[in-house]
């Protein structure tokens, strides 16, 4: 399974492309998580644990959540910036 590191990288690139196409901030953290997991698997930092898909999935999930939270902190909605709806379009 360690020789399939490129699948993680390809999935990360696909998620990055999907992030560009879909409005919102949904897939960026997953894209970063997949690319970093692919890099870790490709360099062999997992060692023998790279054979376990469960361990790779946990690492992907942890990196994705950390990346998403980090990017949300830096690129997300700024303090005091929120969308308020003052009137209903059906009131007129």
Contacts 24+ apart (CB under 8 A), 15-20: none
Q: Find the domain containing 39 and state its range.
A: 2-75
- Asked whether residue 53 is domain-assigned, the answer is yes
What integer pLDDT is reported at residue 13 of this predicted model? 95
What integer pLDDT is reported at residue 33 of this predicted model? 94
Neighbours of 58 (CB within 10 A): 12
- The structure's pTM equals 0.74
- Tokens 């998620």 belong to 15
- Asked whether residue 86 is domain-assigned, the answer is no
Domain count, the chain: 1
Asked whether residue 24 carries a pLDDT value surpassing 80, the answer given is no
The model's pLDDT over 47-88, given as tens digits with 9 standing for 90+, comes to 765 568 888 899 999 999 999 888 877 776 666 666 666 777
Which is more confidently placed, 64 or 4? Answer: 64
């Amino acid at each position: 399974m360690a020789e399939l590191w490129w699948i993680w990288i390809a999935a990360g690139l696909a998620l990055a492309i999907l992030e560009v196409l879909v409005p919102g901030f949904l897939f960026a953290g997953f894209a970063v998580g997949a690319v970093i997991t692919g890099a870790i698997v490709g360099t062999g930092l997992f060692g023998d644990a790279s054979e376990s898909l469960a361990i790779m999935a946990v690492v992907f999930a942890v990196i994705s959540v950390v990346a998403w939270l980090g990017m949300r902190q830096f690129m997300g909605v700024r303090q005091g910036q929120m969308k308020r709806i003052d009137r209903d379009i059906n009131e007129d």
